[in-house]
């Protein structure tokens, strides 16, 4: 048995279509069987609600008097793109306010527009014969705009990797705050409700397909940026009119020390055409596997530590390396369910009919990494190979002498085998002299938790370590924790001299 899209739309129009949400479908298939479910169900609605950074909106403000070509412009102090036309702009969700930085950004401007708030528009221009005005400051609301069209380059990831942190530092990422030493696991996505998880081969989801986006009726434009369906990471480019949106399905947020983002509800109705559709929409959380990746490794190819299901992640704990670790979701299943239920109501009320893609998405596409034509500068290219060290059992007076010679203000401390065990600085010596209290050995005053770098580590990562820990030097160690060099903050200046590693 098969059904046509026209047959399903006729049932929607006459009010006889059976519509269910994706989390209801598995039990229906278990009860009725695949053939019975195909006969019984016409539409399965999906939904997800989570942070979708690659979002934004095209806005048209209308012409001022005298007219201005806005070359640079700010909305509530968030810079928007001025390179489209005279009074058009695109504002991205993650762009930060120049005054409030990460606590307010493009996502907040979008939410404020949808909430009906007035937004301050500031713009500058160099002026021209047809656009003589050079600056403007005004307040605008959503109702004042000619167009406010959300166009999101990347929404509704098929699934996300879960995140953990094996390093010794707390990390602040787009996957939230990750505690050191596998202190927690974060994940995102609605699992069984997630749109593409219910159509992994992209038979039903493609260009022109109607969707719910931010509470408005919109559509899929095509594949999203970084679309990589061959690896189960398909994405969608989406659009809808902001005038029809509401904040039940759209919220601005910011990730601490990462920046603004936009939480967004996206839902797609799937016509139940055949047995394959039934099988795909019967997916359960137990069937959807994700990788747990180590964000403690600052690399594009982070190590995969384990594979787990959404059912395990949603349970609140998982087991990793024989330890029980708490999990937490960055997305809202409750709001994802609200998205799916809203779609269900629209279809049952005849407010939305379905269609098949006007252009299909490539289910075999694999995203490529960036092509880099200039090599990454490594620590070994600018580190100081002549390093002054001291043994942990030496007197602090000896350390003071070495520091006073002016060759360094950081002394790596070594044990008898030459392994790095600490660092002592001029500040440590000064404290020891001010408070003697029987502190006579280097091991009594040294810093034991040493932040280090490797010779083959990119310099950007080493610089990030210095900034994060507010230190001015990093011992360079090898695989045996032998100190082979030292990198000072002043060495970074070599990169910007003629002949340095950067343009």
Give the residue from 460, 466, 165 showing the smallest Cα distance to 296: 165
Q: What is the C-alpha separation between 146 and 128, in angstroms, rounded?
A: 24
Query: How long is the chain?
Result: 503
Q: What is the C-alpha separation between 478 and 485, in angstroms, rounded?
A: 9
Name the strand (E) or helix (H) holding 330. none
Q: What is the C-alpha separation between 29 and 63, in angstroms, rounded?
A: 57
Q: Residue 130 catalytic? A: yes
State the DSSP string of 250-316. EEEEEETTTEEEEEEEEE-EEE--SHHHHHHHT--GGG-EEEEEETTS-SSSPPEEEEEEHHHHHTT
- Identify the active-site residue in 53, 130, 355, 483: 130
Q: Is 334 exposed, middle or buried (0-12, 13-18, 19+ CB in 10 A)?
A: exposed
Contact 290/194 with Cβ under 8 angstroms? no
Contact 31/294 with Cβ under 8 angstroms? no
Q: What is the C-alpha separation between 466 and 450, in angstroms, rounded?
A: 12
Which residue in the block uniquely carries the two structure tokens 């369910």?
A: 337
3-state class (DSSP) for residue 192: helix
Tokens of 32: 């009725």
> Which residues are annotated as catalytic?
130
């Amino acid at each position: 048995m098969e059904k046509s899209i026209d047959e399903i739309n006729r049932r929607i129009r006459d009010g006889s279509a059976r519509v269910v949400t994706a989390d209801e479908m598995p039990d229906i298939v278990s009860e009725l069987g695949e053939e019975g479910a195909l006969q019984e169900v016409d539409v399965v609605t999906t939904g997800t609600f989570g942070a979708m950074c690659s979002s934004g909106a095209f806005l048209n403000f209308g012409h001022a008097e005298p007219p201005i070509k806005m070359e640079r412009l700010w909305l509530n102090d968030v810079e928007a793109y001025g390179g489209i036309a005279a009074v058009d702009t695109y504002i991205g969700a993650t762009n930060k306010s120049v005054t409030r930085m990460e606590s307010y950004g493009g996502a907040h401007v979008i939410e404020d527009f949808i909430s009906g708030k007035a937004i301050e528009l500031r713009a500058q221009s160099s002026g021209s014969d047809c656009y003589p005005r050079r600056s403007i400051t005004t307040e605008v609301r959503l109702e004042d705009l000619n167009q406010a069209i959300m166009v999101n380059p990347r929404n509704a990831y098929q699934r996300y990797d879960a995140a953990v942190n094996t390093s010794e530092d707390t990390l602040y990422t787009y996957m939230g705050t990750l505690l050191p030493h596998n202190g927690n696991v974060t994940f995102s996505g609605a699992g069984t409700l997630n749109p593409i998880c219910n159509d992994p081969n992209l038979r039903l989801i493609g260009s022109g397909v109607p969707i719910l986006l931010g509470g408005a009726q919109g559509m899929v434009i095509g594949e999203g940026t970084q679309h990589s369906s061959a690896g189960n990471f398909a994405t969608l480019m989406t659009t809808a009119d902001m005038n029809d949106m509401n904040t039940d399905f759209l919220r601005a947020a910011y990730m601490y020390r990462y920046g603004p983002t936009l939480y967004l509800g996206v839902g797609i109705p799937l016509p139940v055409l055949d047995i394959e559709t039934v099988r795909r929409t019967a997916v359960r959380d137990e069937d959807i596997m994700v990788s747990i990746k180590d964000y403690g490794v600052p690399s594009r190819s982070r190590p995969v530590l384990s594979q787990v299901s959404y059912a395990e992640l949603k349970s609140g704990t998982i087991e990793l390396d024989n330890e029980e670790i708490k999990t937490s979701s960055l997305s809202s299943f409750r709001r994802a369910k609200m998205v799916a239920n809203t779609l269900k109501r629209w279809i049952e009320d005849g407010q939305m009919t379905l269609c098949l893609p006007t252009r299909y998405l490539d289910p075999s596409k694999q995203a490529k990494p960036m092509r880099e034509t200039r090599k990454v500068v490594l620590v070994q290219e600018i580190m100081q190979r002549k390093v002054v060290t001291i043994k942990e059992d030496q007197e602090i007076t000896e350390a003071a002498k070495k520091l006073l010679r002016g060759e360094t203000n950081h002394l790596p401390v070594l044990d008898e085998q030459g392994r790095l065990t600490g660092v002592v600085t001029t500040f440590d010596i000064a404290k020891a002299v001010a408070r003697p209290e029987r502190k006579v050995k280097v091991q009594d005053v040294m810093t034991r938790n040493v932040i280090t770098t490797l010779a083959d580590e990119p310099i950007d990562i080493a610089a990030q370590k210095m900034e994060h820990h507010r230190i001015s030097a990093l011992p360079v160690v090898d695989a045996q924790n032998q100190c082979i060099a030292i990198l000072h903050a002043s060495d970074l200046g070599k990169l910007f001299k003629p002949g340095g590693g950067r343009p």
